[in-house]
Structure 1
Amino acid sequence: MSVLFPTLLLCVFGFFSNMRPSEPFLTAYLMGPDKNLTETQVVNEIYPIWTYSYLVLLFPVFLATDYLCYKPVLVLQACSLVVTYIMLLKAQGMLSMQLLEFFFGLATASEVAYYSYIYSVVDPAHYQRVTGYCRSITLFGSAAGSLIGQLLLSLAKAQLVHLVIITLASVAVACIAPWFLPMPKRSLFFHKSQAGTEGEKERRSSKGLIEKADDSECKMPLNPKNGSTTSRSSGGGLVEVLRMLFEDFLQCYRCRPLLAWSLWWALATCGYFQVVNYAQALWENVRPSHDYEIYNGYVETLSTLLGALAALLVGWLPVQWSLWGELTLCILSLLMAVCVFVMVTLRDIWMCYGSYVLFRATYMLLITVATYQIAASLSMQRYALVFGVNTFMALLLQTLLTVVVVDSAGLGLDVFTQFYIYGGYFSVISVVFLLAGFFKMASRRRCERDTPPDSTAEITTPITEPSSGS
């Protein structure tokens, strides 16, 4: 029962907070008669505020989430979503929409509380199961919202403003759930038990074997057996926590395989956010919503469900990621580049839709692999740190790209030119990992050539690398 109650409430919150029928039609709504904004205002002056807000708020919210023990930040996320959609329904003018994007950035940054709360109230034995529940319910809610929105437009001939009203009702329902969650008594960094402190002292003094190493590329123990998944300092202050985080940061990113997957995470997530954020603007130019019926809801539903399916199939892929990871990232990053180029060069709405679905499914497959490859070698404490750093770096890159390419203060390029740049961006990612793959293969051959035959048994230490099909 102690596991069931918070998990059920989190699933209710995750479903209704992500069931937003108006989401696939946001650009059409802003540029339509309800808000009467221009494409330049929406693309170059309003949407970038979300990126900037998310970047600025991510680290403070990350620390506040742990210090306040998750629940208050979950409530903040729920309230931010309600404020966002009240403003979307009632407010007028560009400045109001920019403020709306700030609140949505706050809600997005606060998602860290949703995905970390459960680890503070359930036993580690239940982590995998409840994580699966919480993540899958958000995808299901998103897909359901997109499908409902499209069906209401296509069959019931509803207006876009009606979808906003339904979305507001959905996030209002979601806002109720966090208030009833039990308040955790521990967290990863600021609050922990004495047992966790003693376990961490043992961890820091141990000289255990390296786990998740790849031909001795990883020089530091990242997931020690006697480690704690909580903070090192019982009731430690901000300075101590920051010092600990910095030490762990240096230790984790000395591991070359982890660094490679993290590099792809940051680079690809940056490009993914840009493509997803501005795809509706591209579609609006290819097939204007005021002249034709649009099917954005079906596309978002299909891409979400296929992305979830691709994520599930990761466990069945017969790929030895330690050997072929970089080259796989190269090939599939090139596929994502091709999808973006198809969208912008052919300018056919059905090719745009199909390429977008394939683009999102490919990203979700690869980000699932990257998540598993990183998380399998980390304690829960470092899991939060590394994922947070990777997301922050992705947002930093996205902010730079937005300032230069999108924002009116920079080049303020039109959406077609932007997508040519995004296609080139993924092509560069593909080349980077092609070179990394060749370098890794050359290093392996050099090591095999330089290693005496009688010493092979000494260097092939068993590692915690997932086997093919993991």
Structure 2
Amino acid sequence: MEVLRRWKAGWGYPTSLLCCYGFFSTVKPMEPFLIPYMTGPDKNLTVEQVNNEIFPVWTYSYLSVLVPVFLLTDWLRYKPVVVFQSLNLFITTALLLWLQGVAAMQAMQFFYGVVTACEVAYFSYIYSVVDLTRYRKATSYCRSVQLLGYTMGSVLGQLLLSFNLMTYNNILVLTLVLTSIALVTSCFLPMPQRSMFFHRSLGDDRERKSSTGIVAGSEGGALSSPSALDERGGSSNAPSRAKSSSDEPVEAGGSEERPALPGGCLSILAQLWRDFLECYSSRQLLYWSVWWALATCGYNQTVNYVQVLWEHVEPSQNITVYNGAVEAVSNLCGAATAYGIGFTQVNWAQWGELALGIFSGLGAASLFLMTYAGNIWVCYISYILFKTLYMLLITIAMFQIAAELSMERYALIFGANNFGALVLQTVITSIVVDSRGLGLNIVTQFIIYGSYFSAIALLFLVRGVYCLVTQPQHKDPPASELTPRPEDTERVHSF
């Protein structure tokens, strides 16, 4: 009993519950087959309705609630938002299962946009209940469990359909059961006593003053503080490498909470704005962030609408679809590539922007191949290549930014980069996809996405060559500074 009591009072109990929640909320066997289900006899929608009227709602919903959710997540201390996310996930699945028609499916996409926006609470919760000395390990567990859930969901859906073990509706019922387990689990999470911004402890303030800031005299205003956070393609924090003031680990819940400041909310928002301006004054951080926002926008558009392209190339009524297997393989390849990059000895500060240009160009080529090949297997292979390349590059970008920032500042920059990506994605969706805009067909859309990544590739190729030509050669930094470590890369977000 004493061991159990200590376990509940320590970091293992909340981490275990969060891992359980992360697993059951990400096992979605129906997700890779959403287009065949919605355009089949169960929902009887057309591809054009799904593409031009239903799917755009997710983007608009995500953008409209992202900023309020980001602030409320910290103010409410994470757990209420985690519970709210699981409730919205349950509603999303229920709407998809029981309702019919375009309006109902648009409502389903709205609730799913809320689910996506609440993803920030999942990893932020760890910071509030786990000591910084254990944050890396806890984040690794939770991220690995999420990746396992995504992969198992895709494999499970593929097996159930390939062997005719379940219909689409039965798979949705199974998903509803799994979501219910996640909802119940979220209710048992301990309520944190502190948060990153609004409910800080006195120890947090002392640590923040000693670990944040820009190093004067460094090239481009390089930012210093030994921490790294990870995020999805939407919404995760990688571990801080800051040390506590004591050699002994102290549980997060034991810190004394700071009393509220006069004009507390406005003071915090003003501090966030100052941190925002100070961080982006670093030219190197700014360039990596620009790529992050641009590429994440194009990646999200591709992943969101690729099933529509597959349906166009080979209607699901004609063959047995392997969408689930392709998603599983792409997740595994992306995770393996992100992990493997930690063992390469490359000075990404010098060669990184050129790598961004080259690999973005390969991503554009895979999109064009997917669009013009007219063969479903070529589409599948091209998609795996595209997703793997993005996972590789986002890992490098996350590390290059996170290694120079404190935890609070990386959380801010991470949110700002993804918000920028979402704003750009909303503009593209409203003009290119939405039926109230141009309402282009899926082939034309993917030609635009391929051209978009070609422009990104050209921009960073030029920038990378310029840096190599104009900047003096520096001595190679220590190996520990060259690439992300395996502990960091294994947690890159699988969107």
Q: Is this a same-fold pair by TM over 0.5?
A: yes
The Cα shift of 1:139 comes to 1.1
Q: Are 2:378 and 1:375 equivalent residues in the alignment?
A: no
In the alignment, the residues of structure 2 paired with residue 122 and residue 64 of structure 1 have an alpha-carbon distance, to the nearest angstrom, of 20
Please say if residues 202 and 226 of structure 1, whose CA atoms lie closer than 8 Å, have aligned partners that are also in contact. Answer: no
Q: Report the equivalent of 1:442.
A: 469
The Cα offsets for residues 408-443 of structure 1, whole Å up to 9 and x where unpaired, read as 111100000000000000000001101111221233
User: Structure 2 vs 1, CA of residues 234 and 369 (structure 1 numbering), >3 Å: closer, same or farther?
Assistant: farther
Out of 214, 218, 222, the position equivalent to 2:221 is: 218
What does 1:279-358 correspond to in 2, within 5 Å?
279-358=306-385
Q: Are 2:239 and 1:243 equivalent residues in the alignment?
A: no
The Cα shift of 1:223 comes to 5.7
In the alignment, the residues of structure 2 paired with residue 94 and residue 345 of structure 1 have an alpha-carbon distance, to the nearest angstrom, of 30
Q: Report the equivalent of 2:94.
A: 86
Q: Report the equivalent of 1:114.
A: 122
What does 1:347-426 correspond to in 2, within 5 Å?
347-426=374-453
Q: Are 2:153 and 1:126 equivalent residues in the alignment?
A: no
The Cα shift of 1:371 comes to 1.2
Q: Are 2:301 and 1:274 equivalent residues in the alignment?
A: yes
Please say if residues 233 and 241 of structure 1, whose CA atoms lie closer than 8 Å, have aligned partners that are also in contact. Answer: no
Q: Report the equivalent of 2:144.
A: 136
In the alignment, the residues of structure 1 paired with residue 414 and residue 456 of structure 2 have an alpha-carbon distance, to the nearest angstrom, of 20
Q: Are 2:23 and 1:15 equivalent residues in the alignment?
A: yes
Q: Report the equivalent of 1:95.
A: 103
Please say if residues 224 and 406 of structure 2, whose CA atoms lie closer than 8 Å, have aligned partners that are also in contact. Answer: no
The Cα shift of 1:136 comes to 1.4
In the alignment, the residues of structure 1 paired with residue 386 and residue 154 of structure 2 have an alpha-carbon distance, to the nearest angstrom, of 18
User: Structure 2 vs 1, CA of residues 342 and 220 (structure 1 numbering), >3 Å: closer, same or farther?
Assistant: closer
Gaps of 5+ in 2: 1-6, 228-241, 246-251, 486-495
The Cα shift of 1:234 comes to 4.7
Q: Report the equivalent of 1:467.
A: 482
Out of 271, 276, 287, the position equivalent to 1:260 is: 287
Instruction: Look up the equivalent residue of 1:108 and give its one-letter code.
Output: T
In the alignment, the residues of structure 1 paired with residue 470 and residue 243 of structure 2 have an alpha-carbon distance, to the nearest angstrom, of 33
Out of 57, 62, 70, the position equivalent to 1:54 is: 62
User: Structure 2 vs 1, CA of residues 210 and 462 (structure 1 numbering), >3 Å: closer, same or farther?
Assistant: farther
The Cα shift of 1:317 comes to 1.9
User: Structure 2 vs 1, CA of residues 234 and 375 (structure 1 numbering), >3 Å: closer, same or farther?
Assistant: farther
Q: Report the equivalent of 2:170.
A: 162
User: Structure 2 vs 1, CA of residues 217 and 77 (structure 1 numbering), >3 Å: closer, same or farther?
Assistant: same
Out of 140, 163, 183, the position equivalent to 1:175 is: 183
In the alignment, the residues of structure 2 paired with residue 59 and residue 443 of structure 1 have an alpha-carbon distance, to the nearest angstrom, of 39
User: Structure 2 vs 1, CA of residues 272 and 461 (structure 1 numbering), >3 Å: closer, same or farther?
Assistant: closer
Instruction: Look up the equivalent residue of 2:362 and give its one-letter code.
Output: L
User: Structure 2 vs 1, CA of residues 301 and 221 (structure 1 numbering), >3 Å: closer, same or farther?
Assistant: closer
Q: Are 2:38 and 1:30 equivalent residues in the alignment?
A: yes
Gaps of 5+ in 1: 449-455
The Cα offsets for residues 433-469 of structure 1, whole Å up to 9 and x where unpaired, read as 0111122123314xx7xxxxxxx9xxx8989981257
Please say if residues 133 and 244 of structure 2, whose CA atoms lie closer than 8 Å, have aligned partners that are also in contact. Answer: no
In the alignment, the residues of structure 1 paired with residue 203 and residue 150 of structure 2 have an alpha-carbon distance, to the nearest angstrom, of 40
Q: Report the equivalent of 1:453.
A: none
RMSD of equivalent CA atoms = 2.5
Q: Report the equivalent of 2:460.
A: 433
In the alignment, the residues of structure 2 paired with residue 220 and residue 4 of structure 1 have an alpha-carbon distance, to the nearest angstrom, of 33
The Cα offsets for residues 8-40 of structure 1, whole Å up to 9 and x where unpaired, read as 111111111110000000011111111111111
In the alignment, the residues of structure 2 paired with residue 14 and residue 287 of structure 1 have an alpha-carbon distance, to the nearest angstrom, of 33
TM-score, with length taken from structure 2:
0.87
Task: Among all aligned residue pairs of Structure 1 and Structure 2, give the percentage whose two residues are the same amino acid.
Answer: 49
